[in-house]
Amino acid sequence: MKYALVTGGSRGIGKAISIKLAKMGYYVIVNYNSNKTEAENTLSTITTNSGQGEILQFDVSNIDKTHSALDKWRDANTDKHISIIVNNAGFSSDILMVWMEKNTWDNVINTSLNGFFNVTQHLLTEMIVNKFGRIINIVSLSGVKGLPGQANYSAAKAGVIGATKALAQELGKKKITVNAVAPGFITTDMTKDLPEKELKKMIPLNRFGTADEVANLVGFLASDESSYITGEVININGGLYT
């Protein structure tokens, strides 16, 4: 059995990814920061559908707490190792840069970009030793083209895209693939306050995507069928930007 860690796995896209990977037969570690109830609901859905997993609390932006939680898991599971990482944790805090406070910049960068480093770097050695791994980074349309009011979020996701391409070159010979998935407008809590009726007019497919559609793409990248794909940023945005 392969073990997968999904950061920010309790809600939205992260929840859909966790459920998808469990259906594919992976043991899923559902990371959450503060909403334990939602994490337990995600795990309940997994187990109800005959999947296996557990929840694991830590704040990806805090390197000490992240390492401590992962080390405790490793100490309790000495015969197992995490071979699939889905770096999904992140949030947006939108405001034009002219009015943006430093902490608004830092908080978004620390979660999406530094969180990617805090988790991934700490788990790389085991992947290298075992000569197998799948690292899948959930980025965003914002990181590919930039969006006004999201200079912090765009910078964070663009940083992860650059790291994805570099890390793929570092790890290819160890049979570890590194890819990024860049969703456009997806129906989740993060987009519930957006003017969907107006925005979907900009999308060739004329609708928002679903979390399950993103999860299906992540499932493919986690599978053996994707073994010759690495260093890629795959857009899933209904044709809004390519």
Q: Which residues, at least 6 apart from 92, have a Cβ–Cβ distance to it below 8 Å? A: 108, 142, 150, 152, 153, 190
**30: nearest Cα among 57, 50, 70:** 57
Residue showing tokens 């053996």: 224
Cβ neighbour number for residue 109 with a 10 Å cutoff: 17
In the set 3, 26, 153, 241, the catalytic residue is: 153
50's CB contacts (< 8 A; 6+ apart) are none
Q: Which residues contact 35 (CB under 8 A, 6 or more apart)?
A: 10, 11
Q: Where are the alpha helices (DSSP H) in the chain?
A: 12-23, 36-48, 63-76, 102-109, 115-130, 141-145, 151-171, 196-199, 211-222
Helix (H, G, I), strand (E, B) or coil at 192: coil
211 - beta bridge partners? none
What SS3 class is residue 134? strand
Is 153 marked active-site? yes
The residues annotated with a catalytic role in the active site are 153
